[in-house]
Structure formats: C-alpha cells, structure tokens
Amino acid sequence: MKKRFLAALIVSLGMLVACDDSSSASSENDKELSSSSSEKSGDSENKSSSSNAKSSDSKDNSSSSKKEEKGEYKREFAIAIASGETMFIGTMSLDHTDDIGSDYIEVGTRAGVVYYDNSLFIADLDVGTIARYSLDANNKIGSKTAELSLAGAWANHIYFVNEEKAYLGGMLDSLLIINPKTMKRTGAIDLSKYKNKDALVVSPGTGVIVDGRLYVGLLQNVSDYATGNTAQVAIIDIKKDEVIAVAEDDRVAAVGSLDDSQNQSFIVADGYIYCYSNASWGYAPGQIDGFLRIKVGETKFDKDYQWLVTKDVAIDDVTKKGNFKYLSPTTYANGTKVYAFLNVMVDLQQVWTDMDSYHNNTCKPVEIDLAKKTMKALPIGYSSSWASYGKYIDEDGTVIFAVSTEEDGNAYFRYDPKTGKAKKIATVEPIPMWIVPLK
C-alpha cells in the first residue's frame, strides 16, 4: 500500500482546493458523474409446490444446493485481496472461501474499501476514482451506481454524516463535501491556512465523527512518505462545516495515515479518541511514534496520557524497547482493547529494499489495551506487510485475522481472547488484505 506518493502530491497541489480563504464550506458545481445500469439479479423464488412432502423437501434441498454452487449464499464481509501487485475487491463468506476472487473488482495496486448504506465505496488510488457499488440481497457486489474522479488526490478517507452527506479526505489542502448517493461534490472546507511551512499538502487523513464533530488528522506530507513532526487534529462542526479548533502536540509525529480507509488509526474508547502516529513508517528518522488522546468534546490533547510504542513496548521473543516498530490500523475497540499487527522488521533485521520486501513476514498479530498501555503477542505467525490490514472483532468477541504467513500461507484465523487460543478457519489462494463487515 505504501507506494510512491510524490506524483500524487504534486498534482494535488495544483487542483481541488476550490475554497474560500475562510474555514467554511463553499458550494461547487461539479459535472454530472456517470451511473451504470442496475445489477443483474441472481435470486429466484422457488414457486413450485407439491402434495408429496418428501418430493417437496427434495426439490427444496436440490434448489438450495444449486444456489450454493452458483454462489447465491449470504456474504458477511467485503474484502480486498492481492495477486502479485494487483488488488481486487469483492465480498465473501467465511464458509465459502473457495469462491474468493470470483466477480471481484480489479483496482490496480492501491485501493481502499468502505461499507455504508448497503453499498461499497471503492477508492482506486492509481486512477483517482471513488466509486459506489450496489449489493444484492446476498451482498454480492453489483453494478457501479456513481463515481467521483479526483486524479492525483489520493482521496481514501470517507467520513459519513448521513446518507446524503459525507466528507472526503486525502492529499488535499481541503476537506471535500460530497453526496454519497450521487458521488457529487457539494462543497469544501479550506484547510490551507493550517499548512505547515515545509509541507507540500495538508493531507487530512484518518478521521472519526463523534457527537456532531469530525476529528481528522492533518498529516502535513513533506515528501513521498514523510509526514509532519507534530500531531495535529482538526475538529470540525459537521452542521456548520466549520473548523472549531486544531489540536496540536509535539510528543508524537503526525497522527493518522493515508492508507487507512477504515479510519482505524483513531479509536473511540472510554470517552476518548485515541490517535496513533506511525512516525511515517520509519521513513523519517527521529520522528516519535505512539498514542495520544483527546477527550470527546474537548479541543486539546490529554496532557496526562501518552504511550510511545517504540520507546515503551517490549514483548518477549518479539521486540525490544527502543527498536523502531509500528502498528497497522487497529480494529474498533472492545472496551479499551483493540487488535492490530505490529511490524517488528528492525527486531527481525529486515529492511524495505523493493516491492518484494512487502512480502516479508515481519508483522505480528497483537492485542492492545489502550487504557492500561499494554500489548501482547497472539499465537498466530508473522504476516507480511501486504496482509497486515485484515482484522475484525466478531459479535461473540472473537477476533478474525487475515494473514499471509510462512507457516500457514494465506489464511484466516480466529482468536478467542477467553481461551488465548487461535485456530485457522480457512486457507485461501490470494493474499488476504482488508476484511470489512457488511453491517
């Protein structure tokens, strides 16, 4: 996911900032965007009846079996998979992982996927589009219903207010306002006044909406991969489309990420918004990584809380204090606990040299308690950087991980926090990446 950003940065500087000088919304007339024909229906109702109960049961069972063979089963997740350096996005059931890859959308090498309003929003960052796709009754991906083109903007973050209003962030000096149904731009919030002197672009990235406010990290990109040295979170009034304040703190580098379409580098838990900095994935030596937090409703970081991951975290046989390490975006919180992958390539004496390096097994699944500042390794093998995004807390409290490991190949695991045990539940051919619940 972490490809070269520079071309996108340069293009975004010259476009897409059609705003006032103030920090308020300004309406824009955008061109009509394409919409496609409605999806093909794969469902058919069994209208046959028979006085013979055994015959009727036989027909129903036969019909059900044929539907399963045709892929007409309920899908619970949207997923991204990788084959070579190409990504594909679709939907799946953990009971039918042998069907993964059929009827999927090809999206190049960089993409994000979000579920909202019974639709998938797929950002193809290589071509600069965000498209809305319908889902049928079984959550099988259907037709493209609307699309927004933003070439060079790396727009990968959608923050939904309701079915007809959302904000869009990326490599921009503004937050765009869009209608998610039509994917048309309806306005923008100018953030250029908050750009750092050495930044190429403000880059609103990871964000969450809580109690009528959008909290969004300002990444302040200074180069291909390097972000600003200071944590900044813009706090937006979603009714007025105005900036209330920008919280700043130099205890860690920029918080949030551009490759976080699920907006999970910000975690809402225990009345706080925990904000994570990955210190530019290690591409900006000297930056400090870790967690800070903002109390919901306030406009400043909590001065009494910091958790510096590289400095403070040591896990037996995994990582030592002081060795640079970073977390992938986490799950949503279960209490104050979240789950993620911890990249410990320094401890494993590995470095990124080319694209093949992203397949190195350096990412350890971990359980994190944000309030207690604890982290423990889970009994699942080291995954690759490509496969370090897929994790989800199920309704029963167990955690699903999508991994690509040396021992178990490409697979899905289920971890049970009550027993401390993990079990492989499916093996798949492509590399599994995002796993997004369809609810």
Q: Amino acid letter at 67?
A: K
Per-residue confidence band for 57, with pLDDT thresholds at 50, 70 and 90: very low
pLDDT value of position 120: 98
Enter the tokens of residue 84: 């070579």
Residue 156 maps to a domain:
yes
Residue 247 maps to a domain:
yes
The residue among 128 and 23 whose pLDDT is bigger is: 128
pLDDT value of position 352: 66
- Confidence check: pLDDT of 207 > 80: yes
The residue among 369 and 31 whose pLDDT is bigger is: 369
208-230 burial by CB neighbour count: b if 16+ within 10 A, else e?
bbbeebbbbbbbbbbebbbbbbb
Output phi, psi for 30, to 5 deg. -110, 155
Enter the tokens of residue 277: 């900095």
Domain range for 259 is 6-28+73-437
- Confidence check: pLDDT of 351 > 90: no
Tens digit of each residue's pLDDT (9 = 90 or more) over 60-118: 444 444 455 555 899 999 999 988 778 999 999 999 988 888 889 999 888 899 999 99
pLDDT value of position 98: 86
Residue 64 maps to a domain:
no
Q: Whole-model pTM?
A: 0.85
Q: H/E/C letters for each residue in 221-280?
A: ECCCCCCCCCEEEEEEECCCCEEEEEEEECCCCCCCCCCCCCCCCEEEECCEEEEEECHH
User: Which contiguous run of DSSP H or E holds residue 392?
Assistant: strand 391-393
What average pLDDT does this structure show over 426-435? Answer: 93
Per mean pLDDT, which range of 4-13, 218-227, 390-399 is the poorest? 4-13
Per the CB < 8 A criterion, the answer to whether 406 and 102 are in contact is: no
Per mean pLDDT, which range of 56-60, 176-180, 367-371, 396-400 is the poorest? 56-60
Q: How far apart are the first and last CA of the chain?
A: 25
Residue 37 maps to a domain:
no
- Confidence check: pLDDT of 407 > 70: yes
Enter the tokens of residue 149: 């083109």
Residue 265 maps to a domain:
yes
Q: Kindly give, in sequence order, each residue whose CB lies less than 8 Å from that of residue 102, ignoring residues fewer than 6 positions away.
A: 71, 90
pLDDT value of position 15: 39
pLDDT value of position 24: 38
Residue in the structure block whose two tokens are 């640079």: 324
Helix segments in 313-397, DSSP class H = none
Per-residue confidence band for 41, with pLDDT thresholds at 50, 70 and 90: very low
The CATH number of residue 191's host domain is: 2.130.10.10
Average pLDDT value over all residues in the chain:
86
Output phi, psi for 352, to 5 deg. -85, 120
Per-residue confidence band for 124, with pLDDT thresholds at 50, 70 and 90: very high
DSSP conformational letter for 68: H
pLDDT value of position 358: 75
Residue 132 maps to a domain:
yes
Tens digit of each residue's pLDDT (9 = 90 or more) over 306-335: 999 999 999 999 999 999 999 999 999 999
Residue 21's SS3 state is coil
pLDDT value of position 108: 81
Q: Kindly give, in sequence order, each residue whose CB lies less than 8 Å from that of residue 66, ignoring residues fewer than 6 positions away.
A: none
CA 10 to chain CA centroid, nearest Å: 24
Q: Kindly give, in sequence order, each residue whose CB lies less than 8 Å from that of residue 25, ignoring residues fewer than 6 positions away.
A: 177, 187, 188, 189, 240, 241, 242
Residue 348 maps to a domain:
yes
Per mean pLDDT, which range of 398-407, 411-420, 427-436 is the poorest? 427-436
pLDDT value of position 103: 83
Q: Amino acid letter at 206?
A: T
- The proportion of the chain whose per-residue pLDDT surpasses 70, expressed as a percent, equals 83
Residue 11 maps to a domain:
yes
- Domains in the chain, number: 1
pLDDT value of position 14: 39
pLDDT value of position 105: 92
